[in-house]
């Protein structure tokens, strides 16, 4: 699965996965200043259930944050649970 990233509006963006030309998973974020993003929602279509799509998007957000020197505040329950389970992501919190 390939996770893509897009800035959708000023101050907002998303990570997403497409399948057959349709977006089947998305994780949205908002900017909090210039050095932090807030992950506020994660949604995965049942077609990807159990395939790790949500965790893959969180991982892509972590890579993005590391590359840009950002911190992440995960307020989405799924993203927060993923961060709580992955000690390797602590550096961007």
- Burial class of residue 67 (count of CB atoms within 10 Å of its CB; 0-12, 13-18, 19+): exposed
Bridge partners for 15 per DSSP: 5, 27
Q: Could you give the domains of the chain?
A: 3-88 (3.40.630.30)
- What pLDDT is stored for residue 9 in this prediction? 73
pLDDT value of residue 4 = 96
Dist CA 26 CA 18 (whole Å): 9
pLDDT tens digits, the chain, 93 residues: what are they?
999 999 867 899 999 999 999 999 999 999 999 999 999 999 999 999 999 999 999 999 999 999 999 999 999 999 999 999 999 999 999
| pLDDT given at position 35 | 95
Predicted TM-score (pTM) of the model is 0.94
d(CA 70, CA 72): 7
């Amino acid at each position: 699965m390939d996770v893509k990233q897009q800035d959708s509006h000023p101050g907002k963006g998303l990570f997403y996965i497409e399948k057959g030309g349709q977006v089947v998973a998305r994780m949205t974020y908002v900017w909090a200043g210039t050095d932090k993003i807030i992950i506020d929602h994660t949604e995965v279509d049942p077609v990807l259930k159990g395939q790790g799509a949500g965790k893959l998007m969180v991982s892509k957000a972590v890579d993005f944050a590391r590359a840009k020197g950002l911190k992440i505040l995960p307020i989405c329950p799924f993203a927060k649970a993923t961060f709580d389970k992955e000690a390797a992501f602590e550096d961007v919190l």
